[in-house]
Structure 1
Amino acid sequence: MKIPVLKIDQFQKSKPLKDLYINSFSNHIARNKDLISKPHSHNFYLCVLFTEGTGTHEIDFNSYTINPGKVFFLKPGQTHFWKFDTKPEGYIFFHSQEFYEMKFLDHTLHSFPFFYSYQNPPLLEVPQEKRNELQLKFQEAYAEYQQDHLLKELKITNLINSIYIELTRAYTADINIEKLVSPSYSIILENLENAINTHFYKEKLPKFYANQLHITTKHLNRVVKQTLNKTTSQLISERILLESKRLIVHSNNNLANVANTLEFSDYAYFSKFFKAKTGETPIHFRKKYFH
C-alpha cells in the first residue's frame, strides 16, 4: 500500500474554480473525513488557520501542537494527518502552483519562506493582535468562494496573496532582514532541494549535485553551511531518512524491499544507516509507530 496522494478535485464542490479549494475547517473535516483520516500527501499547496480546537498535526514524522492562532503550511508531497483532542474550527484553502503563479508571473510561491525550503518550519503562531485581522481575510476568501460574483477569481487570488504577505511578515518578524541570505544563495539552495528530491534514490554524494547546479562542491558546501548551518551530505541523508520512514510506515513492503527501493546494497547496510541516524532499527521504528 502506498501513501494516497490526494488531488484538489477530490475535495471540490459543484462549479469549483479550477485548481482551488476553500472551506471552513469543520465543514472540510465533516465532508472529507474518509479521505483525510489516514496519513496522506497532496499534489497542491495548503494553508490552514485554526481558530478553535486542540490536538496534534503530524507532518513528515514531526508532531506539532494544534491550538487557536496556529497556521500550518504544506507543500506538494509532504505526508501528514490530523489528530484532534477538542473540536477544531478555522479555515483551510489549497491551490495548485499554477493557480497562483499564472497570476503573479514575477512572484513565485517559493518567495514565501514557509514554502521556500523544507528546512523552514511548516507552522506559525500568529500573534494575538494579528489574529482577528487575519481571520477576517480567511473569512472573506471563503465567502467569496461560495458566491458567483463578477471577478470572483481575481478577488480570491488577491485575498490569498494578501494572506501570504501578512503571514510572511509574521513568520519573519524575529529575523534581521539584513542578515537574510543573498538571493543567489537562496536560488542555489532551492535548486539543490529540487535536485535532491529528484535524484536521491540513486545519487547520494555532494559532487553529483554540485555538477547538476554547475558549481564546485566547495561552493555548494559553503552555500549550505551559510544558509542552513548544515553540510550537503546532511541534506542528502535527511531526505533519504525521510523517505525511509515513509516507506517503512506507509507501505506494505518488507524491509528488504524498502532497502532495495532506496538503492542500498543490502538490508544490513540500510539498517545500519537508519540506526545511526535515528538510534533504532527499521523494525523497531515500524513497531513503535503503530504501537
Structure 2
Amino acid sequence: MKTKLEQYNSSNINDFLKTLGLEDTNNPLFYISSFEGVNISEVPAMSYKHDYFEINLCIGLDAKISIDDYEINPIDFNLNFISSGQKATWEVKQSDATYMSYIVLFSPEFLPFTKNIFDVFENFPFFNHFTIPGYKLDRGQINKFIYYFDLMIFHYKDLTKDNLEIIRAYLTLLLFKMKEELVFVNEVNSIKTKKEEITLKFENLIKSTSEKFHPIKFYADKLEISTVYLSECVKTVTNLTAKQILDDYIMIEAKSLVAQSNLNSSQIASRLGFIDDSNFIKYFKSKTGFTPMKYKKELLNK
C-alpha cells in the first residue's frame, strides 16, 4: 500500500521526465513514450505540475487520477488530457494483462500554428483549464489514435531534423483527429451531471469568443440559462466564480498577446473587448501588478 505522495513542480521537460524515471530528451518542446508489459506494482503515488500539455492513453490500468479537484479512473475513461499548469495526481492500483499506455508532452511552440498556451486552448476543446473531460474510447477509436502514437514513437527513436518535422505533422493530425472524434457524447465523456456539462460549455464558450470582456450575463444568454444558474453550476463544479474563470482566460490571452505579439495596448484592448486601452491597462495592472508595457519589459529582462 502506497502511503507517501511524491510531489513535483517542473518547468523543464527533463526535470519532469527524471521524476518519472525516464530518459532525457534532446528536444525541450516534445516527448513521447509508450509502456507495455511494465511492472507497475511499485510505482509510487505522485502529484505534479508542469508547463506542458499532456495526453495520456491508458488501457488495462486501474488508477485514481486527480486533475486539480476532478477525479477519474482510466479503467472507465482511458483517454485523458492535462493542461499546462494543472496539478495532476496519479495513484496506481493495478493493471491487467492488456496493460499498455502512451504519454505525450508538448509545448505550444512545438506546433506550427500555436505560439502560446491560449492558442492550444482555443483550438482544442478537450484541453481545458478548469473542467476536465476524460473519454471512454471504443476499440475502433483506440486503434485510430494508437496509429498516430506509434508513428510518432517510430520517428522519435531517431530524432533527426527531418523526423522531428514528421512528428510535428503527426501530432497535428492526431490533435485534429481527436477534435473530430471527441464530440460531447454523454456515453463516452466523463462529464456526467448537468452542472458539469454547463460548466464545460461555459468554459469552451469563453475560449471561442473573440472579444471576451463581457458581463457574465452575456455568456449566460448565449447558453440560454440565467446568470444565477450559470454561476451556481460553475461554483459547484470548480469552487470558483464564473467571473474568476472568465478573468483567468482573459488574462491568459492578454499575457500571450502582450508577450508574443507586436500589438500595442489599444489594439489588444480592442481585440479582447475593452472599450478603450485605459480600461484594459487598469484591468491588466490589477491582475499582474504591472502595466502591459512593464510586464513585457520584465519578461524580456528574464
TM-score by length of 1: 0.57
Which blocks of at least 5 consecutive residues in structure 2 are unaligned?
1-5, 187-197, 242-302
- The Cα shift of 1:187 comes to 7.8
Quickly say closer, same or farther: Cα 1:53–1:240, change in 2 above 3 A.
Answer: closer
Q: Secondary structure at 1:159's aligned position in 2? A: helix
> Does the aligned pair in 2 maintain the 1:69–1:128 contact within 8 Å?
no
Q: Deviations over 1:4-58 (max 9, x none)?
A: 322312117445212111111469997x957xx3222221100011133222222
- The Cα shift of 1:236 comes to 6.0
Quickly say closer, same or farther: Cα 1:57–1:15, change in 2 above 3 A.
Answer: closer
Q: Deviations over 1:190-239 (max 9, x none)?
A: 399xxxxxxxxxxxxxxxxxxx9543453244346569995247536755
> Does the aligned pair in 2 maintain the 1:69–1:127 contact within 8 Å?
no
Q: Secondary structure at 2:135's aligned position in 1? A: strand
- The Cα shift of 1:114 comes to 0.5
Among residues 119, 124, 128, which one is paired with 2:135 in the alignment? 124
Please report the RMSD computed on the Cα atoms of aligned residues, expressed in angstroms: 4.2
Count of residues paired in the alignment? 209
Alignment of 1:255-266 (within 5 A): none
Residue equivalent to 1:215: 214
Quickly say closer, same or farther: Cα 1:105–1:55, change in 2 above 3 A.
Answer: closer
Q: Does 1:189 align with 2:206?
A: yes
Residue equivalent to 1:23: 33
Distance 1:41 1:54 in 2: 22
Alignment of 1:119-268 (within 5 A): 119=131, 121-172=132-183, 174=185, 189-190=206-207, 213-223=212-222, 230-232=229-231, 235=234, 239-240=238-239
**Could you tell me which amino acid in structure 2 is paired with residue 94 of structure 1?**
L
Quickly say closer, same or farther: Cα 1:4–1:169, change in 2 above 3 A.
Answer: same
Distance 1:40 1:152 in 2: 30
- The Cα shift of 1:104 comes to 1.3
**Could you tell me which amino acid in structure 2 is paired with residue 20 of structure 1?**
F
Quickly say closer, same or farther: Cα 1:75–1:214, change in 2 above 3 A.
Answer: closer
Q: Does 1:4 align with 2:8?
A: yes
> Percent of pairs identical after alignment?
14
Q: Deviations over 1:106-155 (max 9, x none)?
A: 99322111114633x43111222222232121111122112134512211
> Which structure's residues are more often helix, by fraction?
1
Distance 2:185 2:30 in 1: 31
Distance 1:27 1:228 in 2: 50
